[in-house]
């Protein structure tokens, strides 16, 4: 039962991630970066849909079989080896891998927080200025996010650039992108053996930044100054799991090119509607497929030999 559940989760995650990877660029070109970012909700929704149990079916299904068929079936069942060994070890191997992935992500998160000087006891200030100018700007955390700025933030950026940087991080906080990143990290742990999920996680973070850039420009404009601000941010080699950062994990050229795209409000609304419709359709499809493929424990099959004719 556990092996079947893991197999269905891996299959649903792979199909959903592949679908989003195919649709994200056409959706961004037609309906804007916000619609492409919304498409990523298909992946966790499809995984949750596979967990929907099959509805109970009354008193069960009764099938009458000839006595010879029942005896043959019992003989075959007794000759098969008991389920154990490798099959029983699969859930344990998955659990070990999930815990190892979670530990690796936690180590990366904690090492970055120590690097930026966040208190290990959880006490955080709203803004942390650093001696290393390559450590920000970045929004770190989930429940109590901390805005980390470089030490030379006031001198390296003019007033308009500082306003755009703060607006960018404010959009991340308002939309709950940090919670989305936490969910993405959780899916990476659950599907640790699926390389497509890890590949999709990187593309998800790219679409998150593109959607944030799009919303900031809609509110504040100044595309040329916004692009110049991106170029001022020095690249960093760290990719923090629970953070929204401007640095290297996001292709700078792609983000600057996306600033030139012009999508009308009607197409943006249509793109978000199409993304929501695809979310509902794929969730329903995953739920329906799971209900047909998953054995239902509530439906009992009572096989009894038929009465001999009189």
**What's residue 248's pLDDT?**
45
**What's residue 131's pLDDT?**
57
The closest alpha carbon to 56, from 302, 293, 300, belongs to 300
**What's residue 247's pLDDT?**
55
**What's residue 237's pLDDT?**
45
Collect all residues with Cβ–Cβ distance below 8 Å to 175 and sequence separation of at least 6: 212, 215
Distance CA 2, CA 270 (A): 40
**What's residue 142's pLDDT?**
84
**What's residue 126's pLDDT?**
56
CB 190 within 8 A of CB 9: yes
The pLDDT tens digits for 167-223 are 999 999 999 999 999 999 999 999 998 899 999 999 999 999 999 999 999 988 888
This prediction's pTM: 0.77
What single DSSP character describes residue 140?
A: E
Distance CA 245, CA 209 (A): 8
Distance CA 65, CA 69 (A): 7
Would you mind telling me the total number of residues written for the chain in this entry? 310
Which residue ranges of the chain lie beneath pLDDT 70? 1-2, 53-88, 117, 119-136, 234-239, 245-251, 290-310
**What's residue 37's pLDDT?**
95
**What's residue 250's pLDDT?**
53
CA contacts within 13 A on the Cβ side of 48: 9
């Amino acid at each position: 039962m556990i092996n079947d559940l893991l197999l269905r989760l891996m299959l649903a995650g792979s199909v959903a991630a592949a679908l989003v990877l195919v649709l994200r660029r056409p959706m961004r070109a037609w309906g804007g970066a916000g619609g492409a970012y919304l498409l990523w909700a298909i992946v966790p929704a499809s995984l949750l849909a596979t967990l929907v149990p099959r509805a109970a079916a009354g008193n069960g299904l009764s099938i009458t079989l000839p006595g010879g068929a029942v005896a043959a079936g019992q003989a075959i069942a007794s000759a098969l080896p008991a389920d154990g060994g490798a099959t029983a070890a699969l859930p344990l191997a998955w659990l070990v891998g999930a815990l190892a992935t979670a530990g690796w992500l936690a180590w990366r998160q904690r090492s970055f927080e120590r690097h930026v000087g966040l208190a290990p006891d959880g006490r955080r200030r709203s803004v942390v200025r650093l001696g290393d100018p390559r450590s920000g700007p970045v929004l770190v955390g989930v429940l109590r996010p901390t805005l980390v700025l470089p030490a030379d933030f006031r001198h390296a950026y003019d007033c308009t650039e500082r306003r755009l940087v703060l607006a960018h991080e404010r959009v991340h906080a308002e939309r709950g992108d940090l919670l989305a990143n936490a969910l993405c990290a959780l899916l990476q742990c659950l599907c640790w053996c699926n390389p497509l999920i890890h590949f999709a996680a990187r593309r998800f973070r790219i679409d998150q930044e593109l959607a944030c850039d799009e919303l900031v420009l809609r509110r504040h404009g100044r595309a040329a100054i916004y692009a110049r601000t991106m170029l001022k941010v020095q690249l960093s080699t760290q990719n923090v799991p629970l953070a929204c950062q401007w640095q290297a994990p996001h292709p700078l050229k792609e983000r600057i090119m996306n600033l030139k795209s012009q999508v009308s409000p009607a197409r943006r609304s249509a793109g978000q509607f199409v993304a929501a419709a695809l979310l509902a359709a794929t969730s329903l499809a995953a739920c329906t497929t799971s209900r047909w493929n998953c054995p239902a424990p509530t439906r009992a099959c009572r096989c009894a030999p038929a009465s001999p004719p009189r």
